[in-house]
Chain A
C-alpha cells in the first residue's frame, strides 16, 4: 500500500504502467472505492430502497407504516447492538436468541410482585447468561462459537423449563403500554431502541471501555502485553450482550402481549449477526460500527417488507438475504486488493 502510493511521484508525467492489469494500475483509487463501499454501502443501499418504496409502494410514507417497520425491527436491532460489541472483540454470540427466550420466560414469574422485580429478574437472567459465556471465553479460553453454542442449546431448554413450555399472557398494564404505547407519535419500543443505540454508541466512542474493547478485538495478545484488562473487557462485553438480548426479549414479549419462550428469539442470533455484518463491522474484530448496525438491521427489515409488499414469497426474501450477506462480506476482500 505504502509503496503503491509513493511510486507515482517518481514517475514522469504521462507515464503509463506497461502491461499491467487494471487492478494494479490504480490500486489506491480502487481500494478507496472498495473502502467507501464497505463503510457507506449499507447507507446507500438503505437510501435506494427507501427511495424505491417512496415512489412505487403505496402508503409507504405513512406514519403508520413507518412505525410498523420500526417496531418490527426493534428486538433484532437491540440484540444486534450487543452482537456488534461481541463481534468487535473478534467473537460471536450465538446465544442471543435463547437469552431472549429466557428473559421472556423469567419476566412473568416475578411480574406478580410488580413490574420492576419482573424486569430486574429478566435482566439478571440475561446478565448471568453473558457472565457464563464471558467466563468460558475469557477465563477458560474457549472459542466464542462453542461457548455460546452451549448456551444457545441449553438456554432455550431452560426457558421452556421455567415456563413449563407454556405461553403466558401478560396482564401488567405498564408493560403492555410499553409494548404498544406511543410518545409524541413514536412507539415507546422504538424510543427504547434509540436510547440503547445512543448508549452503545457512546460506550464505543467515548469511553475507556470502548477503546479497550476495540483494542482487544484488534489484537488480543498485544492488548494483554500492553497491560489492558483483557479478561475483564471480554467478560463485560458478553454481559452487555446478554443484557441487551434480555431487553430484546422483554420488548418482544411486551409487543406480543404474551411470554412465549418457544417462539421468541428463534433464529434471532442469525438476524443479529446479519445486521452487524451487513452494517460493515468486520468479523475479524477490532472495529464496531454502531450506526452501520442500525442501518444493517433496517435494510434487512425493509428488504423483507418490500418483497412482501410486492407479493414475493418468503423463499425469495431468504434467497435475497443470503445474497446480501455474501456481498457484504465480499466487500472487505476487495479492499484488501481483490480476492485470490
Chain B
C-alpha cells in the first residue's frame, strides 16, 4: 500500500470516527421521514427533543468522565435520587427544590471522584458501589419507595420542567445550553484539554505536571451534578418524584457516548457526537413506536445491535489509525 492511500484511509477513519453518528442520524431521520407520515411532524420532533433532553444531560457528564478514561455507573441511581430530592425539596420552595438535588448528587459525584482519584480505586467498581448506595438513599427518604411526592403545580421549579417557548420545553433549551458550554469547555479551555490528556495517558499527564487527581474529582462531581439536575428536571416535567426511574439509565448514557464516537479508553471524542448518539437512540425508539406492529422490545435489540456494530467499526478504525506506526 502506498503512503498516500494510507494517509487517505487514516483521514477517512478519523472522519468516520468523529462524524459517523451524525451521518447515521441524518440517514435514519431522512428514511423515517419518507417511510412514516407521522414521523416528520412538529409534534413528533418536540416529543423526541423532550425525551432526549433528560438523557442528554446525563450523557454530557458521562462524556467527560469517559474522555478521561473513567466510567460512571452511578448516574442512573443519582438521576432517580435527584428527582426524588427535587420533589422533597420543592415542598419548602423552588430554590430548595433545585439546590437539594444538586448538593446531594454533586456530593455523591464528589465521593466517586475522591475514591477514584485519591483512593486510586477502579472507577467501575467505585461507581457500582455508589449506584447501590444512591438507590439505598433514595429508598430511605421515600419510605422504602412507597411514597411518591407530588410537586405543586404552581411552583417555579415545576414550571421550569413543564413550561414551553414556541412549543419547545424549557428542559430542551437547558440541555442545548449545557451542550454548548460542554463543547466550549472541551475545545477551548485548559480544563477540557487536560481531560483529553488524562484520558490519553494519565501517567504522562501527571508527569507533565497536570493536577490529574483534582481534575478527576471535578469530572465525577460534574457527572453527579448533571445527573441530579436531569433527574430534578424530569421530576419537574412529570410533576412528581418517581422512585422507580433511572434503572439502567447509565447504560443508555454510556451507549449514547460510545455511539457518538467517544473511545471508551478515553482521550478522544466529542461532545457533539454524544448529542447525536442520544438523538439516535431516541429516534430509534420513536421509529419503532411508529412502526406499531413491532413490539417495543425490539427497541433494545436494535440499540444493542447498533452499539455492537459501532464499537466494532471503532475498533477497526482505530487500528487503521495506528496502522501507520
The interface of chain A, by Cβ under 8 A from chain B, is 92, 132, 136, 140-143, 145-147, 149-158, 160-161, 164-165, 267, 270, 273-274, 277, 283, 313-319, 321-323, 325-326, 329-330, 333, 339-340
**B122 interface residue per 8 A CB criterion:** yes
CA distance A186 to B269 in the complex (A): 54
Inter-chain CA distance A313–B136, complex, in Å, is 9
Q: Which residues of A contact B124 (CB under 8 A)?
A: 92, 145, 283
B258 interface hit (Cβ, 8 Å): yes
B47 on interface, CB distance cutoff 8 Å: no
CB < 8 Å neighbour of B131 from A147, A270, A314: A270
Minimum CB–CB distance for B293 against chain A, Å: 13
The contact string, 1 if C-beta is below 8 Å from chain A, for chain B 102-145, is 00000000000001001111101110111111011111100011
Are B121's CB and A153's CB within 8 A? Answer: no
Which residues in A have their C-beta under 8 angstroms from that of B145? 314
Interchain CB contact under 8 A, B139 and A154: no
Check A340/B118 contact, CB under 8 A, given A136-B308, A154-B301, A157-B298: yes
Does the CB pair B128–A150 fall under 8 Å?
no
Whether the pair B130, A322 counts as a contact (CB closer than 8 A) is: yes
Query: Which residues of the partner chain B approach A316 to less than 8 Å between Cβ atoms?
Result: 136, 140
Q: Does B11 contact A (CB under 8 A)?
A: no
CB distance from B146 to the nearest CB of A (A): 10
Nearest CB to that of B250 among chain A residues?
A149
Contact present for A151 and B316 (CB under 8 Å): no
15 residue pairs bridging A and B, Cβ less than 8 Å apart: A145-B124, A146-B311, A153-B251, A154-B300, A154-B301, A157-B298, A315-B140, A316-B136, A318-B132, A318-B133, A322-B130, A326-B129, A329-B122, A329-B126, A340-B213
Which of A92, A141, A165, A339 is in CB contact (< 8 Å) with B295? Answer: A165
In the complex, what residues of A have CB within 8 A of residue B301's CB?
154, 157-158, 161
Instruction: List B contacts of A153 (CB < 8 A).
Output: 251, 255, 300, 303-304, 307
Question: Do B139 and A314 touch (CB < 8 A)?
Answer: yes
Residues of B within 8 A of A152 (CB): 251, 304
Within 8 A of A (CB), among B192-222: 213
- Of A146, A274, A277, which one neighbours B307 at CB under 8 angstroms? A146
- Contact partners of B311 in chain A: CB under 8 A: 136, 140, 142, 146-147, 150
The 6 closest A-B CB pairs, nearest first, are A154-B304, A318-B136, A157-B300, A322-B133, A315-B139, A160-B297
Q: Does B305 contact A (CB under 8 A)?
A: yes
B213: shortest Cβ distance to chain A, in Å? 8
Q: Say yes or no: A149 contacts B133, CB within 8 Å.
A: no
B319 interface hit (Cβ, 8 Å):
yes
A125 CB, min distance to chain B CBs, angstroms:
14
**Residue pair A161, B264 in contact (C-beta under 8 Å):** no
Contact A325 B128 (CB under 8 A): yes
When chains A and B are docked, how far (Å) is the Cα of A27 from the Cα of B260? 47
Judge whether B299 is part of the interface by a CB distance below 8 angstroms: yes
Question: Do B132 and A157 have beta carbons less than 8 Å apart?
Answer: no
Minimum CB–CB distance from A153 to chain B (whole Å) comes to: 4
Q: In the complex, are the beta carbons of B297 and A161 less than 8 A apart?
A: yes
Closest residue of chain A to B213 (Cβ to Cβ) is A340
Q: A145-B71, A326-B126, A330-B119 are in contact. Are A157 and B304 (CB under 8 A)?
A: yes
Does the CB pair A142–B312 fall under 8 Å?
yes
Given A314-B136, A329-B126, verify A149-B255 contact (CB < 8 Å).
Answer: yes
Q: What is the CA–CA distance of A73 and B3 in the complex, to the nearest angstrom?
A: 59
CA separation between A151 and B255, bound complex, in Å? 11
B120 & A340 in contact (Cβ 8 Å cutoff):
yes
* Nearest opposing residue in chain B for A132, CB measure: B308
B254 within 8 A of A: yes
How many Å from the CB of A291 to the closest CB on chain B?
Answer: 21
Contacts of B126 in A (CB 8 A): 326, 329
**Given the contacts A140-B312, A147-B308, A333 and B121 also touching, CB distance less than 8 Å:** yes
A residues within 8 A CB of B319? 141
Q: Is the CB of A319 within 8 A of B131?
A: no
When distances are taken between beta carbons in the complex, the residues of chain B under 8 Å from A155 are: 304
B144 touches A315 (CB 8 A): yes
Residue among A313, A321, A329 making CB contact with B132, cutoff 8 Å: A321
Q: Chain B nearest CB: distance from A79 CB in Å? A: 15
| A153-B304, A157-B300 known; A313 vs B140 contact (CB < 8 Å) | yes
B184 at the interface (CB under 8 A from A): no
The A-contacting residues of B in range 245-289, CB under 8 angstroms, are 247, 251, 254-255, 258, 264-265
Q: Which of A140, A154, A273 is in CB contact (< 8 Å) with B128?
A: A273
Chain A residue contacts of B27, Cβ below 8 A: none
* 15 other A-B residue contacts (CB within 8 Å) besides A153-B303, A161-B295, A321-B129: A92-B124, A136-B311, A142-B311, A145-B124, A146-B307, A146-B311, A149-B251, A152-B251, A154-B305, A154-B308, A314-B145, A317-B136, A322-B130, A329-B122, A333-B121
The interface residues of chain B lying within 8 Å CB-to-CB of A333 are 119-121
**From residue B210, how far is it (CB to closest CB) to chain A in Å?**
16
| B303 → A minimal CB distance (Å) | 5
Q: How far is the CA of A333 from the CA of B295 in the complex (A)?
A: 48
Contact with A along B134-162 (1 / 0, CB 8 A): 01111110001100000000000000000
